[in-house]
Amino acid sequence: MSNTDSFDVSAARSADLEHQIAQHPADFRVLTGDRPTGALHLGHYFGTLANRVRLQRAGVEVFVVIAGYQVITDRDSVGHLSRNADDLLLDYLAAGIDPDTATVFTHSAVPALNQLMLPFLSLVTAAELRRNPTVKAESEAVGERALSGLLLTYPVHQAADILFCHGNLVPVGKDQLPHVETARLIARRFNERYAAGATVFREPDALLTDACALLGTDGTKMSKSRGNAIELRSTADETATLIRRAKTDADRTITYDPEQRPEVASLLLTAALCSDTDPADLAASIGDRGAGALKTLVTEAVNEHFRPLRERRVELSTDPGHLRAVLTRGNARANEIANDTLDQVREVMGMTYEKSRQRPTTGL
Ligand code: TRP
């Protein structure tokens, strides 16, 4: 299947899933996550975080992995992992992830999850791994010679993230679709090859979010490393400064035209998402008042929308003990589930040596 086909199929499937979620939220378990490389920005928020909170409020159980082992796929130094993990956790909690119902955990605290990687690796070929378009793009970015074994195989590790807790719903942007495809393949092959067709793992579904195309303030993809991102934790003043410097174009009349005017369109989309309005209507309301008026409007919309989240975030950051407790609880729960899953995997694979061995009956 080509990438476009698989995107179309996933988009249609997502609409169908939304319908089922509304009716039977308890049938679903969301697993998703982020690399702890820094605080989250508006692109993350509208692309995935808001959607996680929405699903949680609809009654779906939510698991979020702070994916430490994915940080080292494409860089030599791990950076400030624990500080970055705290920043993620603050963003999650401030955005409304509820630690009483959701499970937030870290890769390295859940050994059984990581052990699933071994049988899972046996289920994919090197050629399949090399074909993954997201891995391809990432390996081009680091250079083929620097392609690490982990970069090539992290989609398999990500399958373990999803399958250890029997997550069946993965809310993602387009770039993560190939990874959900890998998880589906692994679930299917595991059942066929190691479980004689019994369903040990269900195939997870991707739930596509449509608002995943926010650009940074320089008109390229929003990304922390490019310095063009409005972070959730930014103050109102920092937000104003970033937006004031944002790239626009020479046309004074503001129109919503994502093809021809991507920078202006992305600013309009940002304001529209923050104020739950239509970007074209916003453009019309600005008319020929130009980029200055557009930027004022965007700044106000962002600051207004994120004020409560930012206040909660500041408050939460004064209580590091609470953050530790949330992670301790999340990791304990993830371990419990991962141990059960790994036991079942060992069982169906015939790897429970101690149990199956006949004990000597000599009375020694
Ligand atoms: N690969 C994801 C990213 O870079 C993060 C991630 C890790 C993830 N494990 C996951 C996403 C499992 C969905 C499901 O953003």
Residue 310's Cβ-side half-sphere holds a number of Cα atoms within 13 Å equal to: 18
Going by pLDDT thresholds of 50, 70 and 90, the confidence category of residue 364 is very low
Q: Is the pLDDT of residue 318 over 70?
A: yes
172 Cα–ligand 1 center, Å = 8
Q: Is the pLDDT of residue 360 over 70?
A: no
Which residue has the least CA distance to atom 14 on ligand 1?
A: 32
Specify the pTM: 0.92
How far, in Å, is the centroid of ligand 1 from the Cα of 67?
A: 7
d(CA 177, ligand 1 centre) in Å: 10
pLDDT digits (tens, 9 = 90+) for 110-132: 999 999 999 999 999 999 999 99
Atom 10 of ligand 1, residue of closest alpha carbon: 33
For 41-92, what is each residue's pLDDT tens digit?
999 999 889 999 999 999 999 999 999 999 999 887 888 999 999 999 999 9
Higher pLDDT, 142 or 275: 275
* SS3 of the chain: helix, strand, coil, percent, to 5: 60, 10, 30
- The answer to whether residue 358 scores a pLDDT higher than 60 is no
Distance 122 CA to ligand 1 centre (A): 21
Mean pLDDT, range 162-177, rounded to an integer = 93
Kindly report the backbone phi and psi dihedral angles of residue 307, in degrees, each rounded to the nearest multiple of 5, phi listed first.
-55, -50
Average predicted confidence (pLDDT) for the chain: 93
Find the 354 Cα to ligand 1 centroid distance in Å: 35
Predicted local distance difference test score (pLDDT) of residue 221: 83
For residue 243, pLDDT beyond 90: yes
Question: What is the number of the ligand 1 atom nearest to the C-alpha of 154?
Answer: 1
- Taking CA atoms only, the protein residue closest to ligand 1 atom 7 is 33
- Atom 6 of ligand 1, nearest CA residue: 33
DSSP line for 55-66? HHHTT-EEEEEE
Q: Is 24 left (phi over 0), alpha (psi -120 to 50) or beta?
A: beta
pLDDT of 214 over the 90 cut: no
Give residues (CB < 6 A) around ligand 1: 31-35, 65, 67, 70, 158, 161-162, 170, 172, 176
- Alpha carbon separation from 350 to 94, 191, 339, 345 (Å, rounded): 45, 14, 16, 9
Block residue for tokens 């949680």: 56
CA of 65 to the centre of ligand 1 (A): 8
